[in-house]
Each structure stands twice: as structure tokens, then as C-alpha cells.
Amino acid sequence: MVKELRLALIGFGTVGQGLAELLMEKRDWLRAVYGLDARLVAVATARSGFLARAEGLDEAELLRIAASGQPLTAYAAAGVKRWPTVREGLAATGADVLIEVTGTNLRDGEPGLSHIRQALEQGIHVITANKGPVALAAHELLALAARKGVQLRMEATVMAGTPVLSTLREGLAGARIRALSGILNGTTNYILTAMSQGRDYTEVLAEAQRLGYAEADPSADVEGYDALAKTLILAALVFGLPLRAEQVQRRGITGVTREEVRAAQAQGRRIKLVASLRLREGVEVSATSPADQRPALPVEARVEPVALPLEHPLARVDGVMNALTVECDTLDSVTVIGPGAGRRQTAQGLLADLLAIART
């Protein structure tokens, strides 16, 4: 039997287009192996509004239009309808799954936060690669999804398509997790790796910008805000804690000097930007613990440069790679290593979440 899922894709930039490519390339294989017919019935952007067609949209044509620089309103097919906003379009058409991949906004999570809330309220499953809404409101959104009997999945928000959240939620089901520590930002890891080879911060940052690893304004990466957002997501998913940004001790890498890097190497250490969550001594907490039974702040949460001994599993994770080490009661320590960004890599995280929803 083949299960059909109607998809509404909100955002058609790099990640949205990457997912459209995967859906197009893998359509026959998904039907044959997973029994899934994933039909893209709506797509939305700020420029073009919300376009929907009950019979489905042609991913190849959408990609051609996007590549030409035209608005998606250039899509011409019988039965296509348009609404000026996602709110109006989603209310009028619905879908089985909303895939939210608009740009990350760490200030208030918008517009993605409103998109996700509306979909969940309508009883629509949600998949997102947008860190803003889940960093700021994962606890609330997961509770809303549970009340509505649908799923909110976010694999691609941490380490892109590398299966770290599914490892924590499903692969380590039954284990008591005591601590997490990770390299969760590829830009800063690239810079620190190059600095360990004797290069200067300013020079390497400029190179990272030329290569597309760093934005023109790199502050979200180098000041640690991106890693902080992922720390908040992990706190919500693993410990059920709605941490706020100010509860995480944050320090970026802009103050790390070549001399500090050399001094660490002389002591057999490597400096890495490490995001960490650690339960305080004597504390037992889980995502199912009632809120009134949790200490005010049962975890120590930090994002900061750390001089790691070479035997530490994160010390030799170099370049733009990401990694997360999990300490738990049954397996002692587990480390997941993989790419933390990229068009197809992030789209893989979205696809994995889609298949997880299809299985249920």
C-alpha cells in the first residue's frame, strides 16, 4: 500500500529548493521502498505569497522559475490558486504536513513561529529546519502538537541532516542522559581549525566568507548565538526545559588569539567552541517531568571556547564538521559526527522527518 502525504512548503530558498530536488529525484524510490507518495501541493514565499494546487505542483518547474530569478507566481498550471499570506492560504487549503524553512530569526522567531503555531492548531504535522521558533518556543510548540495529536519534528535544526536529534529521541530511548557537549557551528570550527595551523583569526574569517562558510555579518556564528540557539533546542528536546537565552553562559571566538591557540597546543589541547548542557549533581529530570517538580535551573548551560585534551572525542573534529557527545547511564558516552550545514544535507534532515511521520 502507498500512503499519500500532501505537503505545504513554506520557504523556497536554498533549503526549500534542496528538499524539492530530493522529492523529485527520489519519488519512485520513496514509493517502492517506503510506500510514500509525497505530493507537494503548496509552496509559499514572502515575495510570491501562498500558491496551491490540489493535484500537486511540479518541483522541476518551480526550481526552473526560482533559478531564473522570477517570482513563483510565474508558475502557470490549471487549478493553481494564490493567497497573499501563508495564514490565509493554509486556512483555505490545509495539508497533511507543513514544512517550514523560512529564514532563521533568533529575536522573535517570526514569521516561522506563527506558521508553525497555525499549522499545529489546524491539526497539521510540522517539520522545520528553522531554528528560531524552536529555540524560543520548543516547549510550548511540542505541548501544542501533543494536544492536537500531531508531530513537530526538527531534525534539520541541529547538525542539518546528521541524525542527532533522532538518535537522542529514539536511538537512545530509555537511557538517562546526564550531559551533552557539542561542536554545533561549522563556521567557528573551520576558523579554529585553521588557527590551530598557525593562521590569524581575521585572515581565516575573510577566507570563510569567501568560501560561503560565513555570512557577510558573521556575528551569529562567531559570537556563539547560533550554537546557543541549538543548545536551547537540545534542552527542550532532551530535558524538557524551556531555557531562555540569558540562562546560557555564552562567549564566542572573537577574543581567541593565535597565542592562546599555540599555548593550548603546547599543553596537548585543541580549542573548540563547545555548547554544553549538564545536569547538576543530584538532579533527575526528563522531558516528562512535571514542570512544578523541576528545580529552577537543573542544568548548567554554556557556549564557550574550551581547550579540550586530545583524547576528548570532540578535539579532533575539524573543518566545517559538527559533532555531539552524549553522556548517559547505559552507553557511557556516544559521539555523533557529521556535516552541520549544506543544501542537500539539510534537506536530508527534512526528508528523514517526513518518513518518520509517514511511518506513524
Which residues are known to be catalytic? 230
333 vs 44: CA distance, rounded Å: 42
Determine the 3-state secondary structure of 258 from DSSP: helix
116 vs 90: CA distance, rounded Å: 11
* Helix segments in the chain, DSSP class H: 14-29, 59-68, 86-93, 112-121, 131-148, 165-166, 186-195, 201-211, 219-222, 225-239, 258-266, 343-359
Strand partners, 43: 9, 51
- Nearest to residue 275, comparing CAs of 326, 345, 210? 326
Q: What grid cell was written down for 166?
A: 533522532
323: number of Cβ within 10 Å: 22
Specify whether the CB–CB gap between 298 and 284 falls below 8 A. Answer: no
316: number of Cβ within 10 Å: 15
136 vs 248: CA distance, rounded Å: 13
